[in-house]
Structure 1
Amino acid sequence: MARGERKRRAGPPAEAPGPRAPDKAGRRREGRFGAGPGSGPRRGPGGRGAGGRGPGTAALAALGLALALALGLGLSWRGIVAWQRARRAITLHPAPPALPPNSSSAAAAPDLFWGTYRPHVYFGMKTRSPRAPVTGLMWLQQGAPPGMPGQLRHTCEQGDGMGPYGWELHDGVSFGRQRLHDGALVLTTEFVKRPGGSHGGDWSWRITAEPQTRESPVLPLLSLFFYVATDGQGTLRPEPGTGGQLNGIDGHTEELGDFRLILLPPTDVKGTALKHGSYNSLWMPSPGLHLLTEAVKNRLNRWFQHRPPGGSPERYLGLPGSPQWEGESQKSGHSVQGQIVVQQLTLKPPFRVELVFESGSVGWGESRPGGRLAGPVLSQALDTHVTSFTDRFEDIFRLGARGLSAGEQALGQAALSGLLGGFGYFYGQGLVLPDPGDEGPEEDPAPAPSLFPPAPLFTAVPSRSFFPRGFLWDEGFHQLVVYCWEPRLTREALGHWLGLLNADGWIGREQVLGDEARVRVPPPFLVQRAAHANPPTLLLPVMRMLDSGDTADMDFLRTAFPRLQAWFSWLRQSQAGPVPLSYRWRGRDRAAPGLLNPKTLPSGLDDYPRASHPSPDERHLDLRCWVALGANILARLAQKLGETQAETELAELAVKLRDENGLDSLHWAPELGVFADFGNHTGAVRLARGPQGLVRVVGRPPPRPQYVDALGYVSFFPLFLRLLSPTSPHLGPLLDLLADNRHLWSPFGLRSLSASSPLYGQRNSEHDPPYWRGAVWVNVNYLALGALDHYGRLEGPHQAQASQLHTQLRTNLVGNVWRQYRDTGFLWEQYSDRDGHGMGSRPFQGWTSLVLLAMAEDY
């Protein structure tokens, strides 16, 4: 995930380690970071291996015709090449799709059609379709002075003071429960789906509003706003009842047919009817799904009186009293494009209310099989799902059997549920800048970006509050957790990501699809560059599928293989380095005056220190390791599928990249005693105060081609990705360094950059605090745990040490994540290596959910 882009969009900077003076002693004696065997640079075997499959014959013929036309129009050859790249950047790959046609439809997957696929709102549901009607909840605690409404809650926001909140239970398919803490108020939202009919079946919500504790102060009047909105197709019609309450909302869309929404009268928490709710409603043209909050807020312009039996009347801010259509007059049978109906219920907590969605293809009301999904029927369904979830959770992850406490088990359930409840279904067009190739600079702002073809994406998101959209390298880690629970969801997510492949085999690393996603991203960060890669972590769940032996997994991988191969081929060819079998991340920031160390957003490690002066001569260790891992996984897959030619090519590449002598020749730095990046570098850089703020100052010695003196996550990638043999002469020294608390080891997990490194805890610019410069990240710690467990099971001179470090690291990491969850109610984006406190965005039930697999020791 492009964390550097994230930090620029963040609010006040999170707590981060302070600067540390660099240790200038002993840099070139027995190795900067400790003694260890090493040898001078050696040249490894050459060759890059053959490429993957390209566009089909028809696509090439069309391209040839277009080139002939361009030549006829008098374009220069350079212009033709640029035009060709621009067209290919926004052309979909011709390989067969990895998923069957209409795989997201109600007919193909009825149980997945409806879901909580709007992760950016506190509670809402939609279908897996491009122009889906959406449903959602807003709420407002009344009691603010007249003319000064309180905060209308709707979309998850990083700085809105909410919390904790998040899914405690969610099975990814049929039910979920979450608690939303808003001051002294707690809203518990629950939903259950019930299959039936032809359009995805029924579902019901239950919202319980109550004080946080018995000692909490008396809560003010609470208004709940239940809404349904169409997005470009379909009609809605509210049916007025008495006292402003709607008898129901009737709707019709192409995909759903006829449907009906009913807000049932409120009850107390035991189910006894309450008869003193106040109702308001709104029916109007939809201004766009991304503007729903403002549309409701702007119409809260009248004060009403709530009159409870035997109590004093209270004023509250409300919508109009009856559902009068606010748009142009509707002709009979005419479909109005884009509508929204809102029902406002105002009542003093505690109370409970249920919203029922009924599909016309099932029937109406109590006549449907099983009766209406409400009241006792809904309670029984919820109880059944809770029992099924907890039993299945223990069967899969065995946390109780491993002796973990009830609190730690609750953390594991929340980690899984938050990830499953964070799935979103997006549809739209991304903005793409083509690969300029060798003819232009990678960061040249021209030409203008082009629109990628409209496409769907079904994916988990890293953070509902801050990053509610798809991130490529995050998703591979997400699916490691999801696959253990529901392999079908992983196949769906991978298939959608592979559906975003362009003609060259590129996938944009950040997907901003649709207005609701786009409104959360500043314009400069909407554009994806077709030259920029991301770590190929989608291959990590592919490796799980290979080992599963499941027929459905292999059927999917057989269909997906051409796209996986094309994606990997593009990665290793487009990111090829200056010498054979070396690789470099394209898209590093330029050496701007205000940047201490130009960032490398495509690597996912943003401000992790690289060569101080970017150049085409860089060799990036982590990227070579990712390519080595990818070649090995795809070679295994090709073998299982009987793809003989692909297997031969990929296996040959895997052998070359796993050759430890070749790795040493490119990345072992004997003067540092570790593996390292190579580039045009000097350690004599610092930020100094100038007239325009902090600026970079480069002292002496000047930059020269050399290994980069930064000890951190990148230095250990050959270990983390299990590329070293158990008898490697480097394994022991690396394990010693890993365990040294002067470097990566901390009581809370492995820090991202050694406490002895010059840029540890250093800001990267005036407004850019440290990110991957000391903080503990769960995803890389998970890779480290898997590697230590791996080497602890293999015979070799370091088996006992690796096993011991695994146990200690797991205790440190899991213990700290559990303590922070217990104290704050959140999983966090990163954790301080100094005191363990959560930092960055929250809730972050993206790859931090890997703590569940760490607890289960599932690597």
Structure 2
Amino acid sequence: MGRQRKRIVAGDGLSHPRTDDKPPVPHRKEKKKKTDLGKVFINISIVLCIFSLIWFFYALYMRSSLAKRVVTLHTSPRVLDANSTSAEVSPERFWGSFRPQVYFGMKTRSPTSVVTGLMWFRQFSDMDVNLRHTCEQSDRLQGYGWLMHDAVSFGVQEIRDSDFTLTTEFVKRKGGEHGGDWTWRITAKQHSSAAHAPVISLMFYVATDTQGALQAHVEERNRLSTVTGTSEELGHFKVTFRKPTAGDAASAKYAGYNYLQTVTPGLEKLTDIVKNSMNRRFVFNPPSGEKRPYIAVDTYKPPHQHHQQKPADNRKESDFVVHQVTVQTPFQIEVLFESGSFHDRPDQLAGSVLTEELEKRKVAFDQKFENTFGLQAKGFSQSQVKFSKAALSNMLGGMGYFYGQSIVQSVYNEYPLLYPEGPLFTAVPSRSFFPRGFLWDEGFHQLLLSKWDPQVTREAVAHWLDLINVEGWIPREQILGDEARSKVPSEFVVQRNENANPPTLFLALQELVEQLAAQPNAPSTQGTLPFLRRLYPRLQTWFEWYNTTQVGPLPNSYRWRGRDKDTNVFLNPKTLTSGLDDYPRASHPSADERHVDLRCWMAQASGIMARVAQLLGEPHQEYERTHQMLSDNQLLAELHWSEQLRAFSDYGNHTHAVALLREKVYVPPGQPRHQFPVARLVRSVGSGRNAPKLQFVNALGYVSLFPFLLHILTPDSPKLEHILRDMRDPDRLWTPYGLRSLSRTDPIYMERNTEHDAPYWRGAIWININYLAVRALHHYGNLEGPYQEHAAALYQELRTNLVNNVYRQYMDTGYVWEQYNDGTGRGQGSHPFTGWSALTVLMMAEQY
């Protein structure tokens, strides 16, 4: 039963509520309001939680989506069809010397080609086996490179070893359904200075690349006579190794024969397999001469243990057959590849037939070279013309076909990812040191190659643009396949999608457009318009990527991403993405930087985009407006003209008061000397008035010249006077051998960037920028203006200095070089460097 409330009756006869009774009605209403407000807060909290969860999962989705974009290819149709390089579509260009990283080798332009190649070494040498195969500067050859190469059907190369010279020649012949036949001829001659005729072992090899099979056919005396094989791309084929003869004579020569048949886990392992299979148990026993033991691949040696097991990385093993012939110089050997589908072959491409074909190709090459460049008509000597043919041929012979995956990363990826598989047909800067594709080098390469064969340029540019991702980014260094990756230090393998490279492919496109305008009905230009039409969607995305990801802090300014982050280590943090590596930029990298060279590249690119769009009938006004804005000389000066330096300059957080000093290291008392910590060289930065601040960098060098190099300055610009003055000043940029990259008056001139990082773009002479300078002088020397005569005079002087020095160094050393010393003119850096250094040919021909 419920408890009843008691009432208290007062003396006045009125009843009063007890103090513990329920509150009056108004009080109950107030509590209800508070309860309702609490529910509101709870509901809001629930909504916020739901919204946060939605936002969290959306962010996860977006991050996942953004993370995938770096490895998502562009959605427009590819410029080149998937089978564009096949034997069916392009039989005359199917086979080629597309292995620039080896001294001599051939493959097809297909992902898993059968590859062929040559190794050699000198027998009875005082040193260990000095096996030559991949191009290595450490081999210290007296010289090597193509003397003639037409990019399609033949090539002649000379390789000068210590006391003998190898001449490698090849000729191709169309026929059948799989790219036809080809023949090699290797001629060996001893040097006149050699005390004795050297005995050489040549090793010809055939290897499959994950698909196909090979079968060795052995005759008496352990001589491998032929290799037959089959693959998806080649069908049935046969490789024949002919016996050596005494030079041009038909008489046979005594030779020792050996062969190896095994498998390889990857093409990058071929050299190691050959080295590890060698044995000294064989005897060289010529009819007239002493018996001597020699070194050879051992036919009977079983494959290495790791070949009998599945490779650790699950790669499919490939067949590998080596034919070794050991013979005394002089001699000549021919190797024939014959396609099984070539049924109506008129005769074998060997002996006198091969000689006749070679002579025809040489005559045709000489005639085309003179028709293209006209050097004899300009009065150059036979020796100079031979040099220029070699420079062009080395670039053509350095064209490579690569297939594989880049390793890439974006800010949305915790770890690097594999880029989609793809092919790349490209020239390479250096067969020994940089035997792979570099984005900013390739634009310079194609300036020369487009003069010789526009089809090569169209294909190379198309291959590069077909690698673009959906963002508009192209990995700037292409390391495709195991052979290419084996030559690259690990710290340079991963490519990051915020990093650009100068868009020099626009230079090549400009050349193709001008050729089309000059000769619209010429056979060589017929493919240019449809090529540009297929290229255009990718070209738009590429340009927009630069125009959004590389923008600077102010309107119409640009900034290279990817500068070195560890400012404590470098005298001046590098900017590898600019292509100019250690050229001095702002001492303390920041988002406030403005880079004048990138702004000029964008001015040039926007102008070519406008021209291509107009040619295709596409909207071009926006590109034209961008070009006009970036070419405005007044706006350019406002952002980049330093009155203090009287030159164009970068802008950023900078001080000149930097130095590399040995750091002080605390050594505990009694610690043995051999346990002392290593004292590094670290950067010391000034303070007070010398502390870093936002200002012009004021480094006079190549970057200062870019508004001139890319023809952005008007012919009447007073800034031209200062540029021409600085160029001709021996204390600044002028040398008898070309323009140095950084003024001698600069504090960082020829200074090391770290203890182990020698100066690179801090004074040396580089041919690609000097080519742009010569081209610009020619441009302004032919435009009416107050500086026309000065530019024309400098043009003649600079062109002569450059051509004479590159030629002289080639004659003295046997090589075209990566860069040239600004004090002596001597070649330095990697060699042979017949990438952009071969632009000397265009300077000789005065074709800009």
Do the two structures share a fold, i.e. TM-score over 0.5? yes
Change in 2 beyond 3 A, CA 1:772/1:324: closer
1:572-721 matches, within 5 Å, as 572-644=547-619, 647-691=620-664, 692-700=679-687, 701-721=690-710
The question of whether the paired residues in 2 share the 8 Å contact of 1:283 and 1:323 is answered with no
Q: Match for residue 109 of structure 2?
A: 128
Q: Match for residue 230 of structure 1?
A: 208
Q: Match for residue 473 of structure 1?
A: 440
Distance in 2 separating the partners of 1:704 and 1:513 = 42
What is the deviation of 1:690? 2.2
Change in 2 beyond 3 A, CA 1:854/1:673: same
Distance in 2 separating the partners of 1:670 and 1:140 = 61
Segment of structure 1 superposing worse, 240-249 or 350-359: 240-249
Structure 1 residue identity aligned to 2:130 = Q
What is the deviation of 1:241? 1.0
Matched, 1:376 2:363: no
Structure 1 residue identity aligned to 2:371 = D
Q: Match for residue 50 of structure 1?
A: none
Q: Match for residue 390 of structure 1?
A: 366
Q: Which has the larger radius of gyration?
A: 2
Q: Match for residue 499 of structure 2?
A: 532
Q: Match for residue 472 of structure 2?
A: 505
Change in 2 beyond 3 A, CA 1:406/1:74: same
Partner deviation per Cα, 1:4-48 (whole Å, 9 max, x = no partner)? xxxxxxxxxxxxxxxxxxxxxxxxxxxxxxxxxxxxxxxxxxxxx
Higher RCO, 1 vs 2 (CA within 8 Å, ≥6 residues apart): 1
Distance in 1 separating the partners of 2:280 and 2:720 = 71
Q: Match for residue 208 of structure 1?
A: 187
The question of whether the paired residues in 2 share the 8 Å contact of 1:149 and 1:317 is answered with no
1:316-327 matches, within 5 Å, as 316-321=294-299
What is the deviation of 1:193? 0.5
Q: Match for residue 4 of structure 2?
A: none
Partner deviation per Cα, 1:624-649 (whole Å, 9 max, x = no partner)? 000000000110010010002xx011
Q: Match for residue 358 of structure 1?
A: 338
What secondary structure is seen at the aligned counterpart in 1 of 2:425?
strand
1:291-330 matches, within 5 Å, as 291-321=269-299
Structure 2 residue identity aligned to 1:291 = K
Change in 2 beyond 3 A, CA 1:685/1:323: closer
The question of whether the paired residues in 2 share the 8 Å contact of 1:282 and 1:324 is answered with no
Q: Match for residue 822 of structure 1?
A: 811
Structure 1 residue identity aligned to 2:830 = S
1:140-289 matches, within 5 Å, as 140-144=121-125, 149-213=128-192, 215-289=193-267
Distance in 1 separating the partners of 2:82 and 2:318 = 27
Distance in 1 separating the partners of 2:141 and 2:271 = 17
Partner deviation per Cα, 1:489-548 (whole Å, 9 max, x = no partner)? 111100100111011000011000000000111211110000000000001010011111
The question of whether the paired residues in 2 share the 8 Å contact of 1:591 and 1:613 is answered with no
Change in 2 beyond 3 A, CA 1:593/1:414: same
Same amino acid, percent of matched pairs: 51
Segment of structure 1 superposing worse, 761-770 or 586-595: 586-595
Distance in 1 separating the partners of 2:411 and 2:739 = 36
Distance in 2 separating the partners of 1:185 and 1:217 = 11
Give me the CA root mean square deviation: 1.8
Distance in 1 separating the partners of 2:59 and 2:840 = 50
The question of whether the paired residues in 1 share the 8 Å contact of 2:164 and 2:198 is answered with no
Q: Match for residue 405 of structure 1?
A: 381
What is the deviation of 1:212? 2.1
Q: Match for residue 33 of structure 1?
A: none
Distance in 2 separating the partners of 1:227 and 1:71 = 64
What is the deviation of 1:555? 1.4
What secondary structure is seen at the aligned counterpart in 2 of 1:117?
coil
Q: Match for residue 764 of structure 2?
A: 775
Q: Match for residue 755 of structure 1?
A: 744
Q: Match for residue 64 of structure 2?
A: 83
What secondary structure is seen at the aligned counterpart in 2 of 1:243?
helix
Q: Match for residue 37 of structure 1?
A: none
Q: Match for residue 725 of structure 1?
A: 714
Using the size of structure 1 for normalisation, the TM-score is 0.87
The question of whether the paired residues in 2 share the 8 Å contact of 1:143 and 1:150 is answered with no
Matched, 1:138 2:119: yes
What is the deviation of 1:774? 0.4
Q: Match for residue 15 of structure 2?
A: none
The question of whether the paired residues in 2 share the 8 Å contact of 1:281 and 1:323 is answered with no
What is the deviation of 1:337? 4.9
What is the deviation of 1:77? 5.6
What is the deviation of 1:220? 3.2
Distance in 2 separating the partners of 1:286 and 1:823 = 40
The question of whether the paired residues in 1 share the 8 Å contact of 2:113 and 2:209 is answered with yes
The question of whether the paired residues in 1 share the 8 Å contact of 2:213 and 2:229 is answered with yes
Matched, 1:552 2:527: yes
What secondary structure is seen at the aligned counterpart in 2 of 1:301?
strand
Q: Match for residue 54 of structure 1?
A: none
The question of whether the paired residues in 1 share the 8 Å contact of 2:564 and 2:573 is answered with yes
Distance in 2 separating the partners of 1:377 and 1:723 = 55
Matched, 1:341 2:321: yes
The question of whether the paired residues in 2 share the 8 Å contact of 1:177 and 1:191 is answered with yes
Change in 2 beyond 3 A, CA 1:742/1:325: closer
Q: Match for residue 843 of structure 1?
A: 832
Partner deviation per Cα, 1:699-723 (whole Å, 9 max, x = no partner)? 1410111000100000010000000
The question of whether the paired residues in 2 share the 8 Å contact of 1:271 and 1:375 is answered with no
Distance in 2 separating the partners of 1:115 and 1:847 = 22
Q: Match for residue 429 of structure 1?
A: 405
What is the deviation of 1:580? 0.7
1:487-506 matches, within 5 Å, as 487-506=454-473
Q: Match for residue 18 of structure 1?
A: none
What secondary structure is seen at the aligned counterpart in 1 of 2:475?
coil
Distance in 2 separating the partners of 1:137 and 1:182 = 14
Q: Match for residue 773 of structure 2?
A: 784
What secondary structure is seen at the aligned counterpart in 2 of 1:370?
coil
Name the count of aligned residue pairs: 766
Q: Match for residue 332 of structure 1?
A: none
Q: Match for residue 852 of structure 1?
A: 841
Distance in 2 separating the partners of 1:91 and 1:105 = 25
User: Which runs of 5 or more residues in structure 1 are unaligned?
Assistant: 1-69, 330-335, 437-445
Structure 1 residue identity aligned to 2:190 = P
What secondary structure is seen at the aligned counterpart in 1 of 2:562?
coil
The question of whether the paired residues in 1 share the 8 Å contact of 2:553 and 2:594 is answered with yes
What is the deviation of 1:260? 0.1
The question of whether the paired residues in 1 share the 8 Å contact of 2:567 and 2:588 is answered with no
Change in 2 beyond 3 A, CA 1:324/1:197: farther
Partner deviation per Cα, 1:545-573 (whole Å, 9 max, x = no partner)? 11112231111111111111111110111
Distance in 1 separating the partners of 2:681 and 2:382 = 49
Distance in 2 separating the partners of 1:370 and 1:801 = 62
